[in-house]
Amino acid sequence: MLKQVRKIKPNYRSVTGFVTYKGESIAYESTLERDFLLYHAALPNVIDITPQPISIPFIKNGRTYEYTPDYFVQFKLNDKFKPRSLMVEVKPKEEWQVNWRDWSDKWKAAIAYCNENDFRFSIYDEDRIRHHALDNVNFLSKYKNLAVDRKEINAILQQIEMRGETTVEVILELFFKGDIYRPHGKRVLWHLMSHNLIGFDIWEDITSEKLEIYHVDF
């Protein structure tokens, strides 16, 4: 398990702040890092995110330096799929494209370290971070603190567990039939999605009643 080696301090040259993940505050130093965290914190198969996880030594022009990647992301393993942990550098596309030759030594060192430890190393820019799935995460965040009836929630979850897989439309027909109740029913399901209490494809249209949802094993 890697631990944070450098603290991120507030500064006036960039946007800094925190994203809450499993009760912990994870710092970011830019809006791009913030969006990276928001997306990965919402994924059910992510089990841990560590900022500034390690200092990796590298040599440039005969001198030794240290490189600290931005984040280390660990994924849940199962019998069918064993994703490797991910070491990440978050950089705007224009910035890394201009400087990639100058930064290649430290990134080669990071790649070598990750290969030795069966990790992956990736550079994440806006093309890999700001996408439809992130839009869905931001949409669902509006319903995370929705006031819900616990008995209603339990009944819905039991129905989904019994079926294994179903659709939003089926659940709405069972519990929120009629034009008056349907909008509330959608908000309740979005609340459950925001907390990963029901499974769904984050890349699909989550406002569609045809969206497939399924029981999640905890």
Distances (CA, A) of 41 to 45, 47, 196: 9, 9, 11
Tokens of 46: 């992510």
Q: List, in sequence order, every beta strand (DSSP E) within 5-116.
A: 17-21, 24-28, 46-51, 56-60, 63-67, 71-75, 86-90
Q: In order of start, what are the domains of the chain with their CATH numbers?
A: 17-130 (3.40.1350.10), 141-214 (1.10.10)
pLDDT in tens, 139-173: 999 999 999 999 999 999 999 999 999 999 999 99
Residues 161, 91: Cα–Cα separation, whole Å: 41
pLDDT in tens, 196-209: 999 999 999 999 99
* Residue 12, pLDDT above cutoff 60: no
> What are the backbone angles phi and psi of residue 17, rounded to the nearest 5°?
170, -160
Q: Which residues is 165 bridged to in the sheet?
A: 214
pLDDT in tens, 66-110: 999 999 999 987 766 678 899 999 999 999 999 999 999 999 999
- Identify the band that residue 178 occupies on the pLDDT scale cut at 50, 70 and 90: confident
* Residue 8, pLDDT above cutoff 70: no
